[in-house]
Each structure stands twice: as C-alpha cells, then as structure tokens.
Structure 1
Amino acid sequence: MLANAPRLPEDVMLVLQQDRRADAIELLQEHQGISAQEAEEQINRYLEENPPIRLRGAGVVAFSKLNALIWLGLIVIMVLTYLLLAGLGSAATPTKKAGNLAVTGLELSA
C-alpha cells in the first residue's frame, strides 16, 4: 500500500474483498460520519491504488466450497453414466451362431 493511500477500516476492507462495494460505502460512511459521495471517492481511490486480485482456475474451486461440491457431483454423475452405458453395451454383445441363424442371448435346443 502506498503512503498516501487512504487507510480503510478492517471490516470495510473485508466487505470489499467479498465484492460488495455498495455495502462497503455504507459501512465507511457510518464509521467516519461522512457523506456517501465522500465514502465512494475514498473507496474508489483505494481500489485504484489496490486493485482486487481475481481468482482463476483451481483458486476459485479452493475458495468456493459450493463450487467444489458442484464439480464433484458432476464428476460422480459422469462416472456413473459411463459405468451404466458400459454395462448395457457389454450385455448386448454376446452372440452365438447356430447353423445359419445368429441368436443373441438365447439357447437353441435341437
């Protein structure tokens, strides 16, 4: 942080990290007893000098438990679908030839 950057209260910075800018403005306004416009200017200045770092890829999954659970559920569904389809495909493949007739899954007694 730069020397002339406005120092924001801890709870205001936490709200900003949660990407709740409007709530941060209201909270700063309550803390310092300033107008909404002044609070917005301070927060804008702070964000210009300290831009937020956006998570990507695995960082998003690690950050969001719900997102991780959704991905885990999708992977389990894909595995179960594969096993189901692989099981159905193998049940229909055995064929036996009896003379000139091709019989699937049936025994001919002659």
Structure 2
Amino acid sequence: MNNIGDVPQDVIVALERGSKIEGIKLLREHRGIGLKEAKEAVEAFLASRPDIQTRMNESSAQNAKGGLKTLLTVVAILTALFFLFNSK
C-alpha cells in the first residue's frame, strides 16, 4: 500500500464493525484498484493499526455468536413445530 494513512473513513468504519470484506470492497471503489491490491492494502493498514485490528476481531466474534444464537433459536422452533404437528 502506497499511502497507509490515506484510508477513507467508511473503510475504517467497516473494518471496526468486523467486516473486512466490506472494507476491501469500499477501498476498491475509492481507489479504482483490483481485489488483490485492495486486500493487501487493507491488511497493511490493519498491521499498522493494531487497535483497529483488535476492534475488528472483537466485532467479528460478536457477530459470529449472534449468528449462532439465531441459528439455534430457529432450530429449536422448527423442532418444537415438528413435534407439535407430528404428535397425532
């Protein structure tokens, strides 16, 4: 990455939310660069900013936990409905 400090704010916000893919996509749009170059640029930026890397990792972990809870809730509801309608 030529200019690490030149990362647009919306890219940083996406990274802090735990969305590295969105950050890469936004950087590609801002700079008109390819996927590989944008990925390398984001990774270089994160390496230079461990505070943002930490927030990204924490957000990703929270998002994964939320998705698992939702999945388990859906499975529990479907299981209850299955037994409710097949108990006859």
Q: Shorter-chain TM-score category?
A: 0.5 to 0.7
Name the CA distance, whole Å, in 2 between partners of 1:20 and 1:13: 10
1:28 partner letter: L
* Shift, 1:7, TM fit: 1.9
Q: Who is 1:28 aligned against?
A: 27
Q: Who is 1:10 aligned against?
A: 9
Name the CA distance, whole Å, in 1 between partners of 2:39 and 2:7: 12
- 3-state SS, counterpart of residue 4 of structure 2: coil
Q: Who is 1:98 aligned against?
A: none
Q: Give the number of the structure whose residues are more often strand, by fraction.
A: 1
Q: Give the number of the structure whose residues are more often helix, by fraction.
A: 2
Name the CA distance, whole Å, in 1 between partners of 2:22 and 2:37: 14
Map 1:29-44 → 2, pairs under 5 A: 29-44=28-43
Name the CA distance, whole Å, in 2 between partners of 1:41 and 1:33: 14
Identity %: 35
* Shift, 1:24, TM fit: 0.6
* Shift, 1:53, TM fit: 3.2
**In 1, are the aligned partners of 2:4 and 2:41 still within 8 Å (CA)?**
no
2:8 partner letter: P
Gaps of 5+ in 2: 56-88
* Shift, 1:6, TM fit: 4.0
Tell me the alpha carbon deviations over residues 63-89 of structure 1, each in whole angstroms, 9 at most, x when there is no partner.
xxxxxxxxxxxxxxxxxxxxxxxxxxx
Number of aligned residue pairs: give it.
Answer: 52
RMSD: 1.9
Name the CA distance, whole Å, in 2 between partners of 1:43 and 1:6: 11
* Shift, 1:48, TM fit: 0.5
**In 2, are the aligned partners of 1:25 and 1:40 still within 8 Å (CA)?**
yes
Larger Rg: 1
Gaps of 5+ in 1: 55-110
